[in-house]
A and B are shown apart, each in its own frame.
Chain A
Amino acid sequence: NAGVMQNPRHLVRRRGQEARLRCSPMKGHSHVYWYRQLPEEGLKFMVYLQKENIIDESGMPKERFSAEFPKEGPSILRIQQVVRGDSAAYFCASSPVSGTGVTLHFGNGTRLTVT
């Protein structure tokens, strides 16, 4: 049973380009969480999705960032018109159900570098 798969592992974009980060949750998991880890900082929650629904996007910047989790296929975190401050590691985690008593399974992250 494959774990949470994120790709690409590393992504380099020039300022103004778009970045697309993909996350395939563990088999049987329908809850996906995206987190951002800025250099030398802790993880910060961005968005929580279930299949076809955004449940909580309170941690996501209002502009340029969007996320989706379609019925078929991976969850996508999309950053438009990237700026240097978007350089960070982006982690996806999944769980089979919601609630605090549930262990999250994390992917290996995508390291975005904006030049």
Chain B
Amino acid sequence: KNEVEQSPQNLTAQEGEFITINCSYSVGISALHWLQQHPGGGIVSLFMLSSGKKKHGRLIATINIQEKHSSLHITASHPRDSAVYICAVSSYNNNDMRFGAGTRLTVKP
């Protein structure tokens, strides 16, 4: 069983829909990261959080440490949000970062 599990694997939405991507992990962590990988492959760090909730524009990330679960929400989704979203956790340092397999999001106009 992977230490970081994401769901769903694939997600197709219509423009404007509210989107939720889930991440569960089985190890003790000190930080959880949400990354975005666009077609063409570049990776961008969206959020790093260790508790509570963070918001950036239309993106919201939450984490529940007790339940070992995090969610990434996208409000008013847009086709340019189409990408692979990756959840990653680290315990002591960035060199022990473990990654989920990613959620491929497609937003249709």
Contacts and interface: CB of A to CB of B under 8 A. Distances in A.
A35 B96 CA distance: 11
A89 B95 contact: no
B65 interface: no
B95 A56 contact: yes
B101 A98 contact: no
A40 B54 CA distance: 29
Interface range for B: 20 to 34
A95 interface: yes
Interface string A73-115: 0000000000000000101010100111111111111010000
B51 to A, nearest CB: 12
A101 B50 contact: yes
Given A91-B43, A100-B30, A45 B50 contact: no
A69 interface: no
Contacts, number: 71
Interface of B: 2, 4, 29-31, 33, 35, 40-45, 48, 50, 86, 88, 90-102
Given A93-B43, A109-B43, 15 more contacts: A31-B94, A33-B97, A43-B86, A45-B95, A45-B96, A45-B97, A48-B94, A100-B30, A100-B93, A103-B33, A104-B33, A107-B42, A108-B40, A109-B41, A109-B42
26 contacts: A33-B95, A33-B97, A42-B86, A42-B100, A43-B99, A44-B99, A45-B95, A45-B96, A45-B98, A56-B95, A58-B95, A93-B43, A95-B94, A100-B29, A100-B91, A101-B30, A101-B48, A102-B94, A103-B45, A105-B45, A106-B42, A106-B45, A108-B40, A108-B41, A108-B43, A111-B41
